[in-house]
Amino acid sequence: MERRRFVRTALSGAAAAATAFAIPAGANAAEADNLTNIVFTEEDPGHFAKLAGLHVPKVEVSGNTLNVTTPHPMSEAHYIVSHTVVLEGGKFLDRKTFSWKDKPTSTHQLPDGFKGKITVTSTCNLHDWWLKDLTV
């Protein structure tokens, strides 16, 4: 259980740090390469290119409700560990953790009238940390 608590704490901090230290649009290629094969996205799936479709979180916004689903099969040996939502400026909003018995779907309430960037992560116990950015 201590391992899970450690992983949960580390990933929450990593989500906030990734948003706080996001690479500016004008950054050079060398800086962008620093995240290759560390943080995975649909656009940059790194060495997990064939697995992107199962790991990139799918996000829908309806009013103030943010729904996140990761289309990943769940088994005791291989499952989605969590979804984390961070708002523009690195403001942590929410985190939902899963066991292998759960469906990797989560619902999060955005602040009333929120407009801006949202970063959503989906963490797989075998295939690392997947990120999806959107703007509402």
CATH number, domain of 122, equals: 2.60.40.730
Q: Which of 98, 112, 87, 97 is closest to 18 using CA atoms?
A: 87
pTM: 0.75
Alpha-carbon distance 92 to 16, whole Å?
Answer: 6
Q: Which of 34, 14, 32, 18 is closest to 89 using CA atoms?
A: 18
Domain with 67 in it? 2-135
In the predicted structure, residue 9 carries a pLDDT above the cut 80: no
- Is residue 60 within 8 A of residue 92, CB to CB? The reply is no
Beta bridge partners of 60: 67
Q: What pLDDT digit, counting tens, does each position of 11-64 carry?
A: 455 554 444 444 444 444 445 567 788 899 999 999 999 999 999 999 999 999
Instruction: Report DSSP state, residue 116.
Output: S
Q: How many domains does the chain have?
A: 1
Percent of the chain whose pLDDT exceeds 70: 76
Residue carrying the six token digits 């989500």: 15
Residue 46 phi, psi dihedral angles, 5° rounding = 55, -140
